[in-house]
């Protein structure tokens, strides 16, 4: 109890009182640093000078490269490309890798702030939008050297709204249902050709205690793949394009039908979707906890075990109402040149380099989950899965990008992501509200 008696005098760390300054003397003894350092006003000048970011490689013959390919495999693949470029030209590439989702989410402020000279991005409206806003540099001169390496369709996909070229395609990848052959053989599952067959198969899997369809939508965008496919299978490719551009309205029967159809599939999709990323869902597929998984072929990047990789196959989204399976969702990834990077010759050289079979082979040597876009790339090392992916894209009559690449960024991010997430939650979709939001947002641009 002696301790208690001394209570008020003891400089307990917690006896600070709001009314008078606590234990003034003890503090006086220990510090004063703050006040002392204040004396030096010149320091302020020193710190502003010192914190100015150093100018980047523009003058030293090198370039900076911003990459949103942050997962291990694609990160190493781009590393291989930049290394090959440096070995060939002697120009240094400084790569800034940002986690995939953050890179996309911050693209606006990135481009307005200090973008790298060249950076990874996507074809589609999502490229044209930033070209239109004057945040990108056109690269028609680069295309003069690499144009022969690409098909007309890819050239068109690289063109901005002003008719100038902005984009250099690197690879694309088809979206489809991926599955493990061994599991399917063991259980006797058959590839479904129609939507009804898909539902029957899913019900069977559920009976076998497997989550039929792997699903992950914590990041918001993956669910758009399901939406796009059902939409294209029900209403056709052109409707997808017009809806994305808001030339078709959202509050029509055709759109409601997409969600009605989807709600038949919802009970078969992983109920934990909203809490997991596609990488988590890929792990579940690998572990045979899920029967199939609708995603782009990049899902195979996660299968580091060669035996698992060899056990992977995929099938196209089944037929529902029209156009059979002619439309394939196969987004194109590649490089853009920022407005600032437009003044850097080395950055243009790097983009031209990426448009060659040589560079794309260097990429594919590390990341075999995607299909190179340039003509003349080495297909001799293609696995059966690679071949199938390439053929699927080659045979497709219509190639869509992806909802978030075909639509206005604000529509995709601010409207569709929360709307799809709540649809996954309760199976309800208010298409009138989608239309109301679309009207405001498209008008605001």
Partner 1 sequence: MSTTPARTVRTGRIQAASAQRTGSRPKRHYGMHIFLLVMAVMWLIPLGWSLYTALRPVASTNEHGYFSFAGDFNFDNFVQAWTQGGFATYFWNSVIITVPAVLLTLFLASLMAFAVSRVSWKFNVTLLIMFTAGNLLPPQVLAAPLFEMAKHFEVPYSFSDSGNMLNTYIIVIAVNTAFQMGFCTFVLSNYMKALSADLTEAALVDGAGIWRQYREIIMPLCRPAFAALGTLQVIFIYNDYFWPLIFIQSGNRLPITTAINNLQGEFLSNYNLLAAGAVITVIPTLVIYLLLQRQFVAGLTLGSSKG
Partner 2 sequence: MSSTAQELIPPEAQEPGGGRIGRTRGGRVRRLTGRDKVVLSLMVGIPTLIELALVWLPTLMSIGLSFTRWNGLDLADIRPAGTENYQYITQDYPPFWPAVQHNLMWLLFLALIATPLGLLLAVLLDQNIRGSKIYQSIFFAPVMLSLALIGIIWQLFYQRDNGLLNFILGTAGTPQAVDWFGDSSVNIWAAMIAATWRHAGYVMLLYLAGLKGVDPSLREAASIDGANAYQTFFRVVFPAMRPINIVIVVITIIESLRAFDVVYVINRGTNGLEMLSALVIQNLVGEGQVIGVGSALAVVLLVISLVPIVFYLSRTFGKENRA
Measured from the CB atom, the residue of 379 and 433 that comes closer to partner 2 is 433
- Tell me the C-alpha distance between 158 and 164, whole Å: 9
Among 168, 320, 408, 431, binds partner 2 (CB under 8 A): 408
The listed partner (partner 1, partner 2, none) that binds 445, CB under 5 to 8 Å by sort, is partner 2
Residue 378 CB, shortest distance to partner 2, in Å, is 35
List 108, 206, 256, 263, residue binding partner 2 (CB under 8 A) = 108
- Please, what is the minimum distance in Å from the beta carbon of residue 262 to partner 2? 18
**Which residues contact residue 43 at a Cβ distance below 8 angstroms, ignoring those fewer than 6 apart?**
37
- Interface with partner 2 includes 83 (CB under 8 A)? no
User: Quick one: 240 or 340, whose CB is closer to partner 1?
Assistant: 340
Minimum CB distance to partner 2 smaller for 336 or for 374: 336
Note the residues at the interface with partner 1 (CB under 8 A).
1, 4-9, 11, 13-14, 16-24, 26-28, 30-35, 37-38, 41, 43-44, 47-48, 50-56, 70-71, 96-102, 106, 109-110, 112-115, 277, 279-280, 283, 340
Q: Which of 182, 206, 422, 427 binds partner 2 (CB under 8 A)?
A: 422
- Tell me the C-alpha distance between 175 and 212, whole Å: 17
Contacted by 443, from partner 1, partner 2, none: CB < 5 to 8 Å by type: partner 2
Angle ∠(97,400,398) on CA atoms, nearest 5: 140
Residue 443 beta carbon to partner 1: minimum distance, rounded to whole angstroms: 19
Residue 272 binds partner 2 (CB under 8 A):
yes
34 scored as a contact of partner 2 (CB under 8 A): no
Using the rule CB under 8 A, is 191 a contact of partner 2?
no
- Near partner 2 by CB under 8 A: residue from 2, 9, 13, 49: 13
Pair of tokens at residue 87: 């070995």
- SS3 track for the chain: CHHHHCCCCCCCCCCCCCCCCCCHHHHHHHCCHHHHHHCCCHHHHHHHHHHCCCCCHHHCCCEEEEECCCCHHHHHHHHHHHHHHHHHHCCCEEEEECCHHHHHHCHHHHHHCCCCCEEEEECCHHHHHHHHCCCECCCHHHHHHHHHHCCHHHHHHCECCCCCECEEEEEECCEEEEEEHHHHHHHCCCCCCEHHHHHHHHHHHHHCCCEEEECCCCCCCCHHHHHHHHHHHHHCHHHHHHHHCCCCCCCCHHHHHHHHHHHHHHHHECCCHHHCCHHHHHHHHHCCCEEEEEEEHHHHHHCCCHHHHHCEEEECCCECCCCCCCEEECCEEEEEEECCHHHCHHHHHHHHHHCCHHHHHHHHHHCCCCEECCCCCCCCCCCHHHHHHHHHHHHCCEEECCHHHHCCHHHHHHHHHHHHHHHHHHCCCCHHHHHHHHHHHHHHC
Characterize the bridge pairing of strands 332-337 and 118-122.
Answer: antiparallel
Token reading at 148:
């022969």
Using CB under 8 A as the binding rule, the residues of this chain from 353 to 392 that contact partner 2 are none
Give dist(CA 255, CA 84) in Å, integer: 47
Closer residue to partner 2 in complex, CB, 123/415: 415
Q: Does 187 bind partner 2 (CB under 8 A)?
A: no
Work out how close the CB of 169 gets to partner 1 at its nearest, in angstroms, rounded to a whole number: 25
**Could you tell me which stretch among 17-25, 167-175, 293-301, 318-326 binds partner 2 (CB under 8 A)?**
17-25
Is residue 412 within the footprint of partner 2 (CB under 8 A)? yes
Residue 148: which of partner 2, partner 1, none does it interact with, CB under 5 to 8 A by kind?
none
Dist. CA 124–CA 142, nearest whole Å:
19
Q: Shortest distance, CB of residue 61 to partner 1, whole angstroms? A: 16
Among partner 2, partner 1, none, what does residue 24 contact (CB within 5–8 Å per kind)? partner 1
C-beta of 126 vs 325, nearer to partner 2: 126
Cα–Cα distance for residue pair 347/101, rounded to 1 Å: 24
205 binds partner 2 (CB under 8 A): no
Q: How far is the CB of 89 from partner 1 (least distance, A)?
A: 22
Q: 116 to 135, contacts with partner 2 by CB under 8 A?
A: 133-135
Partner touching 194 among partner 2, partner 1, none, CB below 5 to 8 Å by kind: none
Identify the CA nearest to 168 among candidates 332, 31, 392. 332
**Does residue 425 bind partner 2 (CB under 8 A)?**
yes
Asked whether position 246 contacts partner 2 by CB under 8 A, the answer is: no
Interaction partner, residue 218 (partner 1, partner 2, none; CB < 5-8 Å by kind):
partner 2
By CB under 8 A, is residue 266 in contact with partner 2?
no
Contacting positions for partner 2 (CB under 8 A): 3-4, 7-8, 12-20, 22, 104-109, 112, 133-135, 218, 220, 272, 274-276, 408-415, 417-419, 421-422, 425, 430, 433, 436-437, 440-441, 443-445
């Amino acid at each position: 109890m002696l301790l208690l008696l001394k209570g008020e005098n003891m400089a307990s760390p917690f006896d600070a009182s709001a009314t008078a300054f606590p234990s003034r003397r003890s503090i006086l003894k220990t510090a004063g640093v703050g006040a002392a350092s204040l004396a030096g006003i010149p320091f302020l000048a020193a710190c502003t000078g010192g914190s100015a970011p150093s100018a980047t490689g523009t003058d030293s013959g090198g370039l900076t490269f911003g990459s949103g390919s942050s997962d291990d495999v694609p990160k190493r693949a781009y590393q291989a490309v930049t290394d090959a470029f440096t070995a060939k030209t002697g120009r240094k590439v400084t790569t800034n890798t940002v986690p995939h989702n953050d890179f996309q989410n911050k693209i606006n402020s990135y481009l307005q702030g200090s973008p790298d000279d060249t950076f990874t991005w996507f074809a589609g409206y999502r490229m044209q939008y930033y070209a239109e806003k004057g945040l990108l540099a056109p690269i028609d001169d680069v295309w003069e050297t690499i144009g022969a390496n690409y098909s007309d369709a890819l050239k068109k996909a690289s063109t901005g709204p002003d008719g100038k070229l902005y984009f250099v395609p690197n690879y694309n990848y088809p979206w489809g249902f991926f599955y493990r052959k061994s599991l399917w053989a063991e259980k006797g599952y058959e590839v479904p050709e129609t939507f009804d067959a898909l539902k029957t198969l899913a019900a069977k899997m559920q009976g076998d205690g497997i989550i039929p369809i792997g699903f992950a939508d914590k990041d918001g965008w993956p669910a758009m793949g399901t939406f796009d496919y059902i939409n294209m299978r029900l209403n056709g490719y052109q409707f997808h394009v017009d809806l994305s551009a808001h030339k078709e309205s959202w509050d029509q029967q055709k759109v409601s039908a997409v969600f009605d159809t989807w709600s038949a599939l919802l009970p078969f999709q992983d109920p934990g979707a909203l809490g997991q990323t596609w990488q988590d869902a890929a792990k579940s597929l690998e572990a045979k906890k899920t029967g199939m998984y609708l995603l782009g072929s990049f899902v195979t990047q996660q299968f580091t075990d060669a035996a698992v990789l060899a056990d992977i196959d995929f099938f196209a989204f089944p037929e529902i109402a029209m156009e059979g399976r002619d439309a394939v969702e196969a987004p194109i990834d590649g490089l853009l040149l920022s407005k600032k990077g437009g003044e850097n010759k080395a950055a243009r050289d790097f983009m031209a380099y990426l448009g060659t079979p040589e560079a794309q082979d260097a990429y594919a040597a590390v990341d075999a989950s995607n299909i190179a876009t340039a003509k003349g790339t080495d297909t001799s090392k293609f696995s059966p899965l690679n071949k199938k992916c390439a053929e699927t894209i080659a045979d497709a009559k219509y190639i869509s990008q992806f909802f978030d690449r075909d639509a206005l960024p604000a529509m995709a991010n601010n409207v569709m992501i929360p709307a799809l997430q709540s649809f996954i939650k309760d199976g309800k979709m208010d298409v009138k509200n989608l239309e109301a939001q679309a009207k405001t947002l498209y008008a605001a641009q």
